Structure 1
């Protein structure tokens, strides 16, 4: 058996939310992510040119979408999932101050064996979000 072809990166990460407009406001205004697409069906954000964060309404993507270019299979998710944003080592404390000024509670923090540090907090839908500095993983 031969090895799989190389994967270059994770392109999209999806969160399922109860209110798309509330999610849009949080990730645009609190997290500072530029809006790539503000459609009725989904919201898309640029993550520093290195990825895309998509928001879909919970339960609203359980049917196949057909359009002139093809089909998108059904998908959905539930519960408070986890995702991490990469930030520079010197950005963690400014992020802490920014989140606290926005009324976002820091729920946890960690210092990792390789020297990375993380802050944990929640979005309005209860997803566990992390800001992580280099030194968390091999290669980061």
Structure 2
């Protein structure tokens, strides 16, 4: 069986791309890779890409000279986790407080990792995760 190596892209669907841009660029410091009328893409640690789609705008096949992308979309609050160093978790906690972003949950995991949970403007649950949570991280 061929092997899957890792997840490259993760997609969230947002109601307002500009509001999402302000949050992810200004508050979380993500660097943009691509901006179109219906999609913003961000580099996450030089290892993965966060895609923000304008909700409802990817419901039809998107075609170009290179091929086509099948329809997709999402509804409701989704969840993603960002990897952070253990030594930077306290700084992230302080930064979120300064930005008046409520930390909704904290977890000390059995394997030794820790997590902070908060929401983006569209209600998606974001997690900052330190190493030690999963066997693979």
| TM-score, normalization by structure 2 | 0.98
Q: Does structure 1 residue 46 correspond to structure 2 residue 43?
A: yes
Q: Secondary structure at the match of 2:81?
A: strand
Runs of 4+ in 1 over 6 A off after TM superposition: none
1:24 deviation in Å?
Answer: 0.9
Match of 1:127 among 99, 117, 124: 124
Q: Does structure 1 residue 116 correspond to structure 2 residue 113?
A: yes
Match of 2:31 among 24, 29, 34: 34
Match of 1:16 among 13, 17, 33: 13
1:7 deviation in Å?
Answer: 1.2
Alignment size in residue pairs: 137
Query: What is the rounded CA distance, in whole Å, between the counterparts of 2:35 and 2:18 in structure 1?
Result: 9
Q: Secondary structure at the match of 2:115?
A: strand
Query: What is the rounded CA distance, in whole Å, between the counterparts of 1:136 and 1:33 in structure 2?
Result: 23
- What RMSD over aligned residues (CA atoms) do the two structures have, in Å? 0.7
Unaligned runs of 5+ in 1: none
1:6 deviation in Å?
Answer: 1.2
